[in-house]
Structure 1
């Protein structure tokens, strides 16, 4: 990878676990010193005996999402406010927001970690960023990483009325977009929008080199389907607004934790024990985060971590991210997960053209709806029902729906005007939306 280098650790600077441990412990004392400046950790840490080793750190209690919410907005701040570069909040929180903030120096680490893509980014790339910019970190993170390598950024957002799917499709086609960043579901919707516009996803976008995805669990079957649709690699990323990128994919398709830039532990919530590998909840201590240090932060994501060798030579632990996909709904005596269902849906033959589905878990029956052309409807429904019954052993009803039912055609083709606020109207104009420009 052609990366501008900073003074931070770079891939290839260690040859094995022992050297990686030395890198981690070398930075840990600075990380703890930064943490001791924040009101939250000032109360939690004993200033006379700050942790200096990874073993010392393990004696501290975990930091939780609730701790961040309870200390909203600046109870975790470890630098003067004047040094902050950005403020963010994570999505989907109840009650107080989950705040995060970063200095300009923190942003060097953030951008470098996200840019660790095996396929590389350069000034020749046109990079569509199709994740939220508002308050979340994700859009800004990809934007900064792309600019670090000189790429042209198309700030697409996916919460903006100014960027409907028809415009996304037009931009991808007309601007010769080479790389994209989005949740996996977006890639399927783009394919439908491209088809609605008369374009073929795998043929009429020859500049496209790869699809970068993250933000939701991705099964191997759905990933493979997206890759076949577009004819390019689908490269997975894992992270959070509170931490930035935590893991990226190597050329062998394995997610590696950025253990040179953060410490990782695996926490078993049933027993309260913590270990370096195995299955459990991921706990992270970013090592180069000054504005808002986090010591032993429990992401609450279910993962499986391994220190087995990988042929890529990065000498970093690997992680399988289950997210919160382990959560399921009961049907009869079985727990049904979205992850498990998704894998079955996308094992259906490509010729059935099934991209979109939904399911409802009821006490005695699992009801599934799939969009599928009429000529394949009966076969697709019967085949999926058989797959689900064989996998889960529950009563299953699968209904085939006409394309455009779950994702309306108008959502793929409409191009609404981007309006500005008005206060003056003509005699025949509707002034009911004066000032409200949506």
Structure 2
């Protein structure tokens, strides 16, 4: 490895799942908590660990730092014909308060058939799958048909500005020849009326992290004040939090809901979209967020003494808007804020969607069905944000494909950034086998 700056079908000779569980545990044990500021350990230790794993099987890596400790890794493997495929996973995780957990969130403990720990589903499980498959194939001398570029990034949990964006802005030559990219939050199963549906991410909401500000007249807390910044801001925050956003169906969700409607014996329409989403059982809460724009107040700040009315009050809002509905989102937000509350962006990233009828998606579909013949594969739109937003600036089509066959009663969406994050051991092994098949066909 070299520091650069500071700014298919499973063959009989290898087992693609042999290391996946232990690699996931080891990655979880490396604390890469990202607090979204200058605090936290950074990703350097994890990037060096990944580099050592690749070095062991003859794959050279380059480490890139946007600033000290904020480390991403890029490696290239295989010299087959065709345009390279980018596989990207992030190394950072959101923080975890140990006192809230049943186990130490950085222990990688195995309990009740699960690997527990921060990052188990977001997204050190995918990192472990990719590394397990690549290492098994490299040892066996079975490269994929097309070249692979591996990219393990810093800072995704804070918008990717110090990771994927830094790579795109400063080291695009490493990845610019990739035309397709595969990353997190897709390929996992959910259950509808006893049937497993595997969701491939083919689209993603846009992100608007916003700081709202209201200004008023400062004064004594005992006196009448009709120009109170806190009152003005609180009204706007309450309106935003209570707003019922209308249902809007994007192409990916139209296809997914049509699949569900077929199982339920009906047709998919905007009028019954919420009813069809409820068929997803444990995944309904997550999927309910991708048939509409959303905006959730997340932080409040004002004042410094109980008897002083402050001049300024602030709030932060996490806004997510559907592809094609950005103008509607911001027009509605302006109405909800009113004339006396302004906003600025902490981070704004565009939504995206990729074509679903492609040979790459067909490879995903066939690799899942080879391991689960009774499954159904369909596209969906993801509510959160990923590094795909940055890589797409170079013209790549993007997909989320981290395959997991999950228990019917597991609320998978609640595990992202949640307490007691965990992934089933057998789901990790399933995912590695599927991903191995995928690389053979991609």
The question of a shared fold, defined as TM-score above 0.5 by the shorter chain, is answered with no
- TM normalised by structure 2 equals 0.24
- TM normalised by structure 1 equals 0.24
Quick check: which one's helix share is greater? 2
Higher relative contact order (CA 8 A, sep 6+): 2
